[in-house]
Structure 1
Amino acid sequence: MINTKYFSIGISLLALVIVLAYVRYADQKIKSYENVNRVMEDGSIAPADLDESLMQPSLAISFDLPASASFSGEAVPMELPDVRERLDKELHVNTYWHNNTIFLMKRAHRWFPQIEAILKKNNIPDDFKYLPLIESGLMNDISPKDAVGFWQIVKSAGKENGLEITDQVDERYDPIKATEAACRYLNKAYKKFGNWTSVAASYNRGMGGIERAIENQNVSSYYDLYLNDETARYVFRIIACKEIIEHPAKYGFNVKESHLYNPEPLRYVTVNETIPDLIAFAQKNGTNYKLLKRHNPWLRDEKLVVKKGKTYRIALPA
């Protein structure tokens, strides 16, 4: 039979050997880092140049709602409990979606001035600049429903509002022309609804969808409508993003000005004849195909056929 006394001693010695081996391994691992000045409580390595603020525990804070809120000069009825809770939800969702919200702030710095100028020219309230922010994150994305670009425009709506959409040219990918097209839609919607909050909701649900909901439910305010979840959240998402971007410090964001994305200096070439090879065209004009596509995402092919009487304005790095 096994002597339990010696067996227990053997187990204890084995455990001691394992512990000593692990301690030695950990010590060697720590010394292998040249820029380490401490080991965190959880055993992770802290670089010597790590910002002290990043070593503090991550805080989850419930924020006070603003005393009042508005969209395009139209008051949000904050006295309604469900309205307060819906805005509360979107403020916290977008605040704690840190990486996404930070990049929204960075891209907004590049694109908002250009979008603001177009909105103003078309008599659209400035708050509508937040629509492409929540639609696409100011990126040329394609949705599962084939909505395209900053403003997430479907093909039929794009053509209806003056955009060229072919196999070679798709102006939904042009942030400037897409904004112009969106303004045409928004002005038509305002003529129908007479208030900008319903106009914004219709951008998500469609003019017909909002019009039917208003008629069926016999109410006139977006905030009184029972809607599908996406449209019910839509305007609140806009208001929440507006609040966070206008008051970033209140919600814990500290994005240095030097970290924001700036507009890139460009020059423009007007073309009125076919370009058989856009790669060669880019090189001839002192750039490369990657940058040509970066600044002209509306070019959808490696060539551009230009019909008689048609011209295109192509952006190139300055």
Structure 2
Amino acid sequence: MIRTSVAVLIVFWGVFFCSTQGSTQEVRRENPKKQLLQETQAELKLLREKLEEALQRIEKLERLRGMAHYRFPNQMELLGVSLPLQRRDLWERMDREFLFLVNDVPQVLLWMKRANRYFPLIEERIRLRGLPEDLKYVAIVESSLRPEARSSAGAVGIWQFMPTTGSLYQLEITNWVDLRQDPVLSTEAALSYLEYLYSKFGDWLLALAAYNAGEDRVRKEMARQEVSSFYDLMLPSETERYIFKIASAKVILSDPRAYGFELSPDELYESLKVELVEVELGGDLDLVSLGRACGMTYRALRNMNPQLRDSWLPKGKYRMYLPAGSGNCAKEFAGNKTLSTAPKPKPQPEAAKTQPPKQARAEPVVHKVQEKESLWDIARKYGVQVKSIQEWNKLSAQEKIRPGQRLVIYR
């Protein structure tokens, strides 16, 4: 805009200067050269001053118009809760995170592109559980929707699970797979974990703080500071900023055009058009050959399956994502009758009722369920998986435990 205006003014200046050439020629014949030079310099000085004044006005207008991109709404909701931005300290915390994020143009554009790929599967599972849709923005702040994201602390995947927490939600880590990088399974696990934290704190903002800093850390600080509101709780800087980053991501991505971001549909990353296949292998499976047999490159296969860690899989059971309609191709290639297309994931699949391993039956521990204690609490206490406790005690995934109930734990 400024460059265009400058060009217009320069053209105007040139036309004006040329229009004075005729009169200048007459002055040249009648007046001394010195007087002519002085008059010409005076005219140029006047034009220069007017040009500078016009440029300053144009720049001011441009700044004022652009400032709208750096302001967030006065009233906002996150997870169904109105943020009290009338409190100046909270407004300043929100302002800081919003300005940092809205000014990071490449990052916001990548969010928009990746959201087209991953938000549909996240939103579907959120709806199935009846949870707030704003939870999808947690994945934005955690990993920028990158399944391959890995933190220096060892958190991995879209939802940044640490190994210990991931194991509690059946996100297996072996030499061949890391299910923390499976977009579907990690989303199911993250929603289960967030749902659990909400059941413990009764407040979504505290639940998010616990997701970031850890349940014990948040509970300890609440007790020590005698504070029950997230807004008044002193927590590590990363956690305090975490909530406002999520809120800022929601503001920007809910209406990107309002903040100067706009992409055409063909600039967005393609949605996941894959078929989930469960594989029970009787022997080793070469993934390079599998991809070739199904008409795709090994790179394409790995891109669809970020949870895979090697170019082959040994005997065992695995989940794989293949292009829609490729299930039969994989079945024929593997030559294994146990290869089958898996059903659509459910929010809470019922646990298989199997017996505990024989070597664990020798020394069972009987645990008496305490008030407000959950299976997740018990699993963490004994270092086992929730699914294992359900299997050992013939509990379905939906079945609730009650205070005083006795559970058998094998360690």
Q: Structure 2 length normalisation: TM-score?
A: 0.61
1:299 is aligned to 308
Is the Cα–Cα contact under 8 Å of residues 72 and 251 in structure 2 kept in the other structure? no
Partner of 2:67: 61
Q: Secondary structure at the match of 1:61?
A: helix
Opposite residue 301 of structure 1, the aligned amino acid is D
Change (3 A) 1:306 1:124: farther
Q: 1:120 to 1:179 in 2, by over 3 A?
A: same
User: Deviation per CA, 1:180-214, whole angstroms, max 9, x where unpaired?
Assistant: 11112111101110011111111111111111121
Percent identical pairs in the alignment equals 34
- 2:87 maps to amino acid: L
Measured in 2, the distance between the counterparts of 1:304 and 1:188 equals 34
Correspondence for 1:104: 111
Cα deviation 1:32-64 (Å, max 9, x = unaligned): xxxxxx9x99xxxxxxxxxxxxxx988562633
- Structure 2: which amino acid aligns with 1:212? K
Q: Decide whether the 8 Å contact of 1:269 with 1:316 is kept in 2.
A: no
Residue aligning to 1:152 = 160
**Aligned-residue offset at 1:254:** 1.9
TM-superposed CA distance for 1:129, in Å, is 0.2
Q: What is the correspondence of 1:97-176 to structure 2 with a 5 Å cutoff? A: 97-139=104-146, 140-176=148-184
- Structure 1 residues 90-101: aligned runs within 5 Å: 90-101=97-108
**CA shift for structure 1 position 265:** 2.7
Choose between structure 1 and 2 for higher RCO, CA contacts under 8 A separated by at least 6 residues: 1
- Partner amino acid for 1:152? Q
For residues 82-127 of structure 1, the C-alpha deviation after alignment (integer angstroms, 9 at most, x for no partner) is 1001111111111110011111011112111110111222332110
Shift of 1:317: 6.3
Could you say which residue in structure 1 is the equivalent of 2:252? Answer: 244
Aligned length: 264
* Contact 1:217–1:225 (Cα < 8 Å) also in 2: yes
**Alignment check: 8 A CA contact 1:124 1:186 kept:** no
TM-score, scaled relative to structure 1: 0.78
Two-structure CA RMSD over aligned residues (Å): 2.2
Q: Which has the larger radius of gyration?
A: 2
Q: Which runs of 5+ in 1 are unaligned?
A: 1-37, 42-55
Aligned to 1:30: none
Distance 1:256 1:222 in 2: 39
> For the Cα contact (< 8 Å) 1:287–1:317, is it kept in 2?
no
Matches of 1:245 and 1:157 in 2, distance apart? Answer: 29
Whether 1:182 aligns to 2:183 is no
Q: Which runs of 5+ in 2 are unaligned?
A: 8-57, 326-411
User: Match for residue 231 of structure 1?
Assistant: 239
